[in-house]
Amino acid sequence: MAQILLGKEVTASLNEEIEEKVKTLKEHQVMPKLGIIRIGEKQDDIAYERNAVKRCEKLSVAYEKFLLPEDVTEEMVIDTIQKLNKAEDIHGVLVFRPLPSHLDEEKILNTLDVEKDVDGITNLSMAGIFAGKEMGYAPCTASACIRLLDHYGIDCTGKKAVIVGRSLVVGKPVSMMLLKKNATITVCHTKTKNIKQEVQAADIVVAAAGSAGFIKKEHLRTGQVVIDVGINVNEEGNLCGDVAFDEAEPIVDAITPVPGGVGGVTTSILVEHVVNAALLKMKASENSITNM
């Protein structure tokens, strides 16, 4: 039987750290604040927004929503982002993706200042991850995978990590973050041959394909740690991951459930990034006063 890597345990310790940081900020009269830009009324976006808002409230972090219509113009979105770039009281900005198809996503997202890019949506944040430099923030989901591994004391050094999925939101950044933690990485995608053998060879599996129950018992073996990022709805209408949990759990050493794994950690990471951005800004302004 596998150890179940519960997101709520990670979130509890992460929230304690965030609360300490918020206390420090408030002692300096700084109220950390998240700006949320949502275009249209997509149910997935609304659900994530609801969770983010609840987590902000729980952790005494302010937020403000900027809701734009589905047929918004590129100029209006860019204006909104630029307004938030300049806003002294906003420390981080969340923009729901993908944007409606009539908008130039690349151009719009890269308008956001890297200092406020708390969900790693800009090319500069991504460059930071690939260069191993502290620049911007990693996408929250990728950070959540790493936080889960760290929390449960899973050492990545020398391990073979296989990541299924190569998106900029999860697969690519998590690969680079695992590489930084000295894992040897393999990234699989729809053109990969012999996915079964690739996944079976892994010590650490990160499943981020967006395909319900795609990783089955024949992909798995004893000794593996499985991080299931997938959020899917199965044929019975239930929420499930990319890994067939009931098949995997008796085989592998440790696994994250869906729901109850990566998802909840992701929301706290978002709040942590906002708080870290506020702390960085506070320290920068203190330094500039000292140097005057």
List binders of ligand NAP among 135-174 (CB under 6 A): 141, 164-167, 169-171
Q: How far apart are CA 32 and CA 277, in angstroms?
A: 8
Please report how close the Cβ of residue 163 comes to ligand NAP at its closest, in angstroms. Answer: 9
**Among 30, 109, 231, 248, which residue sits at the site for ligand NAP (rule: CB under 6 A)?**
231
**214 lines the binding site for ligand NAP (CB under 6 A):** yes
Residue in the block written with tokens 């991850």: 129
The contacts of residue 278 (CB under 8 Å, 6+ apart) are 25, 30, 32, 33, 91, 92
Nearest to 215 by CA among 184, 251, 185: 251
Nearest to 56 by CA among 280, 256, 278, 228: 278
**95 lines the binding site for ligand NAP (CB under 6 A):** no
**Among 133, 191, 197, 290, which residue sits at the site for ligand NAP (rule: CB under 6 A)?**
191
Please report how close the Cβ of residue 63 comes to ligand NAP at its closest, in angstroms. Answer: 18
List binders of ligand NAP among 235-264 (CB under 6 A): 262-263
Q: How far apart are CA 167 and CA 34, in angstroms?
A: 25
Residue with smaller CB distance to ligand NAP, 40 or 259: 259
For helices 140-151 and 7-27, give the axis angle rounded to 10 degrees: 110
**209 lines the binding site for ligand NAP (CB under 6 A):** yes
Q: How many CA atoms lie within 13 A of 19 on its CB side?
A: 10
Residue with smaller CB distance to ligand NAP, 35 or 171: 171
**230 lines the binding site for ligand NAP (CB under 6 A):** yes
**Among 129, 174, 188, 274, which residue sits at the site for ligand NAP (rule: CB under 6 A)?**
188
Largest CA distance in the chain: 64
> What residues make contact with ligand NAP under the rule CB under 6 A?
141, 164-167, 169-171, 188-192, 195, 208-211, 214, 229-232, 262-263, 266
